[in-house]
Amino acid sequence: MSRMDAFRNRVGGFAFGGDYNPEQWDPAVWREDVRLMREAGVNVVSLGVFAWASLEPEPGTYEFGWMDEIMDLLHENGISVNLATPTAAPPVWLTQLHPEVFPVMADGERFGFGNRLHYDPSSPIYREYAAAITTKLAERYSFHPALAMWHISNEYGPTAYNEAASVNFRRWLRRRYGDLETLNEAWTTRFWSQRYTDWDQIEVPHIPRTWMNPSRRLDFKRFTSDALLECYIAERDIVRSFRDDIPVLTNFMRFYKHADYWKWAPEEDAVALDIYPNPADADSHVSAAFQFDLFRSLKGGQPWLLMEQAASAVSQWQLNIVKEPGRMRLGSLQALSRASDSVMFFQWRASRGGQERFHSAMLPHSGPDSRTFREIVDLGRELKLLAPAAGTTSRAEIAVLFDWDGWWGLEETAGIPRSDFGYADTVMRHYTPLWEGHHPVDVVSSASSLEGYKVLVVPNAYLIDDEGVRRITEFARDGGTVIMSFFSGVVDECNRVRPDGYPGAFRELIGAKIDEYWPARPHEVFAVEFADGRRATSTWWRDDLHLETGKALATYADGLLAGRAAVVDNRFGAGRVVYFATLLEEAAFGAELLAAVEAAGVRSPFPGVPAHVECSVRGDEADEYVFLLNHSGERAESVPFPGEGTDLLTGERVSGAVELAPLGAAVIRRARA
């Protein structure tokens, strides 16, 4: 039995709860908290996330009495603990004793005390103190009966430019390149006379007066992710040395650029996500769906954990909108529909003070008679009804490439034809038509296996290594359909332009050569005409593209590139490549993308269902659990449902069609065909 299987068995299905910070409250409040947790159906709380100063108020002086008491109280009431190492927020005594642990920012200014993540991850002093508190916690609580999971630190993220970071960066570069000659070649250091003759000459890339060597900047992003990962692994290995049969993980964030989660995921028993979709953004649930698909994919389709979300409003934006009644429930079910095995919140009880005093909580300032708490109680009841779905996952025939190296290359280095690319935005532009068409989607990296997929979507893969090129090329040659957008395959893993013209990696694949990249002027719009006579517009970008083996699906109808291909269809081996050489208007782009998916033999499992009703399936060898989620404020009547089954939320039999209330949901269990 895996560690996560044991965890699911312990909690009886889905984990339900949130961050609990009893150190903020008088012990008289604790018993009332636990009573209300039981009323709500809470079975897990994350404990100690920011408690370093409460656990170690002075160097080497530990106060565990309060933690002992709350751990015992939770266990007595059947509530398990996800125990955190508190190393995301070093106490003030540490920063006063050793101010060098503060991270130095890119502009040379030192980060001050009063926030969190105020440490240089390369600092040996920080790592020493972090290891010490982690060891003390593991010694004391590894076999406490309440302990169900270890939560290492919290939302890893600081980027530091300290001398310790420079020392660690040089070590990292030695491991990567071996010798200076190889590094100089990779970084093209003869340009602008940047050649290094001694390792000690290399420092972290503080902000220069003009521009930065793009290869150096790229490697620094890789190094930063790895330095943070070293901190996680060090603490993970400490707790594992005491007990090896429970899960160990940390919590990730939505579209977070500073850590390559593809490299982190194998080091964890499950990946966990903190996500706060903005209720003011009408499409935030689509972006959330992509994140959920990504997190399911990070460990090869294994269930993941929703570690934090908001019960209602947050406190980090300029305008913090409440979640209307039903929205919290719908977002929670959406995470479950895409293979989360938990619904967790920040936090259990709303704080009276501090930065997040107005951040909503499961138990808000208005108490147990509040709307939010009553919705939490109802959700806890429903999660018990859905328990059979825990541990199941999803299958897809479509993969979308999402790669941190490509993200860093596109956004973190200057000197490209236009410097306002938004990688997350372009990925969502490719994902949204698939979501609206109710297509199951996996997310892959350039190192992922593509076996079993029929379609691979490649959004703006500017930087890709040779192995990634080989995988994509072989996928198409073996019969797969590749849907690719402009400015892909341009540079290698060192951020060097590939030889033999654009797009160096994919010229044969797309069946065309690109003479020049033509970024559009502000407000410039182009007419595009398809082979069947349909017309559309495009903007932002054009390739000056010359067909070789490819054929034009659409051409520019005006301007200096009139008659040149805007969309290319190339038969490659046993497969097909559809290449977009410009930024088509969304409707036309979505239609062409879905047409290519259908031509590849991939059919939506939910034809005829309106786009605002999200359809997702998770299951095992015996059963499927079909989630139908109405994201509209209007009733959805006669929503087609193929087959028949039982709605676990109501106990009613379903056959042929379903009716959904505004923001309503159905979770239908049916036998796998």
Catalytic residues: 155, 308
The phi and psi torsions of 279 (rounded to 5 degrees) equal: -60, -20
Please provide residue 662's backbone torsions phi and psi, each rounded to the nearest 5 degrees: -55, 130
- The CB density around residue 550, as the number of other CB atoms within 10 Å, is 23
Residue 483 DSSP SS3 = strand
Distance (Å, whole) CA 374 – CA 367: 10
User: CA 62: distance to chain centroid?
Assistant: 36
Tokens 């709307």, residue located: 371
Rounded to 10 degrees, the C-alpha dihedral 192/196/201/204 comes to: 60
Q: Which residues contact 369 (CB under 8 A, 6 or more apart)?
A: none
Beta strands 272-274; 15-20: pairing state:
unpaired
Containing H/E element for 251? strand 251-253
Angstrom distance (rounded) from CA 300 to CA 68:
37
Quick count: other Cβ atoms within 10 Å of Cβ 251? 26
What's the token pair of residue 591?
């239609």
Is 435:398 a contact under the CB 8 Å cutoff? no
Q: Which helix H or strand E contains 181, and what residues bound it?
A: helix 180-187
Per the CB < 8 A criterion, the answer to whether 477 and 451 are in contact is no
The answer to whether residues 662 and 632 touch, using CB atoms and an 8 Å cutoff, is yes
Amino acid in position 271: V
Using the structure block, give the residue that is written with the tokens 């087959």: 643
Instruction: Specify which residues 82 forms β-bridges with.
Output: 46, 149
Written as six digits, the tokens of 69 are 């008491």
DSSP H helical segments within 478-530, as ranges? 507-510
d(CA 370, CA 363): 8
- Cα 227 to Cα 168: distance, rounded to the nearest angstrom: 8
Strand-pairing partners, residue 327, are none
Pairwise CA distance, residues 378 & 381, whole Å: 5
Rounded to whole angstroms, the Cα distance separating 543 from 458 reads 17
Which residue, 528, 508, 523, 489, is CA-closest to 570? 508
Q: Residue 214 in contact with residue 178, Cβ under 8 Å?
A: no
Q: Is 107 exposed, middle or buried (0-12, 13-18, 19+ CB in 10 A)?
A: exposed
Alpha helices in 243-370 (DSSP H): 261-264, 284-298, 327-337
d(CA 171, CA 230) in angstroms, rounded, equals 13
Pairwise CA distance, residues 490 & 512, whole Å:
14
Do 152 and 211 form a contact (C-beta atoms < 8 A)? no
Residue 604: which of 441, 487, 478 has the closest Cα?
441
